[in-house]
Amino acid sequence: MSRPSPVIPGFGLTLGYTLVYLSLLVLIPLGALFIKSTELTWEQFVAIVSAPRVLAALKLSFGAALAAALLNGVIGTLLAWVLVRYRFPGRKVIEAMIDLPFALPTAVAGIALTALYAPNGPIGQFATELGFKIAYSPLGIALALTFVTLPFVVRTLQPVLADIPREVEEAATCLGARPWQIARHVLLPALLPAWLTGFALAFARGVGEYGSVIFIAGNMPGKTEILPLLIMVKLDQYDYAGATAIGVLMLVVSFVLLLVINLLQRRIARG
Amino acid sequence: MSIRRFALAALAGALISGPVAAAQTLLNVSYDPTRELYVDYNAAFNKHWQAQGHEPVTIQQSHGGSGKQARAVIDGLRADVVTLALAGDIDELHRMGKLIPEDWQTRLPDASTPYTSTIVFLVRKGNPKDIKDWDDLVKPGVEVITPNPKTSGGARWNFLAAWAWAQQQYGSEEKAKEYVAQLYKQVPVLDTGARGSTITFVNNKIGDVLLAWENEAFLALKEEGGDELEIVAPSLSILAEPPVAVVDRNVERKGTRELAEAYLNYLYSEEGQRIAAKHFYRPRNQSVAAEFAQQFPELKLVTIDDDFGGWKQAQPKFFNDGGVFDQIYEAR
């Protein structure tokens, strides 16, 4: 092997370290999850994951996470754009605020959002007047997830946006491109891979979110129950195997979806 | 001194002094609403323990949902004693973890339950919806707040109290089931724990009536000053029995059996009973109960053992997957 020596030496050492690290943190816990779920027979497993309540919660969890990720995909792009391309007073403050949803304990976020958006809360009462509910409905769940996953798209887009020099846009303008053409043919291709990463992160985070959602969801069986809550319900019956079955279901669905996003990204990268 | 050197020194110090001068520590794993009770009780017990000629002890308390706390102990949390919301959760320490013998509940007086509570209604000041008893809860337009019995010990007592009333009132299980089905139709939010429901009702002002532990209702009343809420005692409720137990496997490993047993026994002393009563738990001791008789409304109480055949029967029948609680939601 006559590869040029890399900056950080010791391929064996670093790879070994990576593998140990990943095993301890990810592989072993997830492996244990799968092993525990094998205490169930295949029929039992299928019966648990195809129960109507589980399917309803599955749709809700993934649906709300998707909605939140899409919303953040749009608003987050806007935020990143504003923060990178414009200088205005208070920019630093907004910049710092973006990360707050990560720092705040999710339960605190959940309680605060619920108080605001409850049917007679300061904001929720307007929704009540218009005849719909925010807290204690799927809308509230999506709202909490949007809050919790806000930083992902913004933070993945910012460095990429900053790397696109303004000259590129100016050159395109000089060559006669209209603004929408610049957006479509110049900016979008450069941003899309990072955008997809941010989207996927927000989505994955949203699917597993528990702390903020249980306060705002209302947790009505079959209507506003999220999958992680069903896992807690099983655990409170000391049904460890049943809980792992739902865990495995979530893991498999998430893995497939993330894989699809990844493949999409690679196709885009290849052009 | 650099942080690393400080840490090393601290570590060395701990290694050297640890086994020799270690004051005994005791970990009490409890459920949510007992936080304030055990802060007071631990101080009193420490005084009592030292008066007996022992070294002072460090008592740690841990609080959370009763089921979660039981699981933590089963999964290896080294609790010396558990003081949980219902016997069913302590039963699991035997069934799942073999940490205690099966007959744990016979080891202390009164089925190992030094204090009790019950389920009462908390309503808005002036009782605008005129809620007096269980049948008022299913009147049109009344919104009831109670946590999810699948995840909350307190909520299971709520459910069983409602069931017990309906069965006496209407005379059959089917009617009782219809009643609780209607009751839960009027529940707009099912929080996962008792504290969550209290927040929903008191702070977010959702609903007309909160089904609550009596001690939790009194605490909420005390904290907000009595301007916004009042307590209504229904005609019939359930004797909520939150039991206590020494965790044998852990105290044997740690050599703290004497301490742990003294800790639980002292709960039955007049002093312990008085502290429990001050925190709105109903004392077992007759003379202390008489002292605090003013505080607690008199009401008819059913018990889990006499009327439901104990948690071993009640849990699977009502709350496990496919039980009555699931049925009333699936029937919709």
B203/A contact by beta carbon, under 8 A: yes
Residue ranges with strand state E in chain B: 25-30, 58-62, 81-83, 115-124, 144-145, 209-213, 229-232, 236-240, 244-246, 282-283, 300-302
Confidence of residue A40 (pLDDT cuts 50, 70, 90): very high
Q: Please enumerate in sequence order all residues whose Cβ is within 8 A of that of A171, keeping only pairs 6 or more positions apart, or say none.
A: none
B190 contacts A121? CB cut-off 8 A? no
Q: Does A128 touch chain B (CB under 8 A)?
A: no
Cα dihedral A201, A140, B213, B110, rounded to 10, equals -30
**Cβ neighbour number for residue B132 with a 10 Å cutoff:** 14
CA distance A242 to chain B (A): 10
Alpha helix segments (H runs only) across chain A: 11-22, 28-37, 42-49, 52-85, 91-97, 100-103, 106-117, 124-130, 138-148, 150-163, 166-174, 179-181, 188-208, 213-217, 227-236, 240-270
| CA–CA gap between residue A185 and residue A168 (Å, rounded) | 11
Q: What is the mean pLDDT of residues A83-110?
A: 92
The arithmetic mean of pLDDT across residues A139-157, rounded, is 95
Cβ of A236 within 8 Å of Cβ of B150? The answer is yes
Helices (H), A118-165: 124-130, 138-148, 150-163
State the average pLDDT for chain A. 91
Q: Is the pLDDT of residue A1 over 90?
A: no
A118, A232, A237 ranked by CB distance to B204: nearest: A118
- Closest CB to A238 among B96, B205, B326: B96
DSSP summary character for residue B135? G
The minimum CA-CA distance between B67 and chain A, rounded to whole Å, is: 5
A221 and chain B: CB distance < 8 Å anywhere?
Answer: yes
- The pLDDT, as a whole number, for residue B21 is 43
Tell me whether B71 touches chain A (CB under 8 Å): yes
Contact list in B for residue A218 (CB cut-off 8 A) is 188-190
Cβ–Cβ below 8 Å for A221 and B329: yes
DSSP string, B103-128: TGGGSSHHHH-SEEEEEEEEEETT-T
Chain A residues with CB under 8 Å of B67 CB are: 235-236, 238
**With 0-12 CB in 10 A as exposed, 13-18 as middle and 19+ as buried, what is B285?**
buried
Q: Which of A58, A53, A31 is nearest to A257 (CA)?
A: A58
Low-confidence winner among A182-191, A238-247, B107-116, B265-274 (lowest mean pLDDT): A182-191
| pLDDT for A14 | 87
At A50-95, the pLDDT tens digits run 999 999 999 999 999 999 999 999 999 999 999 999 999 999 999 9
Mean pLDDT within A151-155:
95
pLDDT for A268 equals 83
Within an 8 Å CB–CB cutoff, is residue A115 touching chain B? yes
Q: Closest chain A residue to B96 measured between Cα atoms?
A: A238
Task: List the single residue in A218, A236, A242 with the smallest CB-CB distance to B189.
Answer: A218
Instruction: Indicate yes or no: CB of A136 within 8 angstroms of CB of B71.
Output: no
Q: What is the pLDDT of residue B226?
A: 78
B82 bridge partner residues: B29, B245
Mean local confidence (pLDDT), A242-257:
94
DSSP A238: T
Q: Does any CB of chain B come closer than 8 Å to the CB of residue A229?
A: yes
Please state the ipTM of this predicted complex. Answer: 0.80
Per-residue confidence at A271, pLDDT binned at 50, 70, 90? Answer: low
Q: How far is B304 from chain A (nearest CA, A)?
A: 18
Residues of chain B contacting residue A219, judged by C-beta atoms under 8 Å apart: 148, 189-192
Nearest to A218 among B92, B190, B203 (CB): B190
- CATH code of domain A41-270: 1.10.3720.10
User: Chain A window 141-160: which residues touch B at a Cβ cutoff of 8 Å?
Assistant: none
Contact at 8 Å (CB) between A160 and A190? yes
Domain spans of chain A? 1-37, 41-270
Residue B192 to residue B210: CA distance in whole angstroms: 14
pLDDT along chain B (332 residues), means of 10: 48 43 83 92 96 94 92 95 95 94 95 96 95 96 95 93 96 95 95 89 93 92 87 96 96 95 97 96 95 92 94 94 91 64
What global pTM score does this model have?
0.85
Question: Pick from B151, B203, B332: which is nearest to A233 by CB?
Answer: B151
Window B:284-323, CB contacts with A under 8 Å: 315, 319-321
Instruction: Please tell me the distance in Å from A42's CA to the nearest CA on chain B.
Output: 19
Contact A253, A59 (CB under 8 A): no
Contact A53, A225 (CB under 8 A): yes
Which of B88, B315, B190, B314 is closest to A230 using CA atoms? Answer: B190
Whole-number pLDDT of residue B14: 43
Residue A4 pLDDT > 70, yes or no? no
B199 contacts A136? CB cut-off 8 A: no
Q: Which of B71, B150, B205 faces A120 most closely, judged by CB atoms?
A: B205
Q: Which residues of B touch A114 (CB under 8 A)?
A: 200, 204
More confident residue, B261 or A267: B261
Query: Which chain B residues are within 8 Å of A55, Cβ to Cβ?
Result: none
pLDDT for position A6: 64
Q: Choosing among A229, A230, A238, A244, which should be mutated to test the B contact, i.e. which has the most B CBs within 10 A?
A: A238
Q: Please name the residue of chain A whose CA is at the shortest distance from the CA of residue B67.
A: A236
Task: Please name each of the domains of chain B with its CATH number.
Answer: 3-113+241-267 (3.40.190.10), 116-240+299-330 (3.40.190.10)
Q: What is the predicted pLDDT for the residue at A2? A: 52
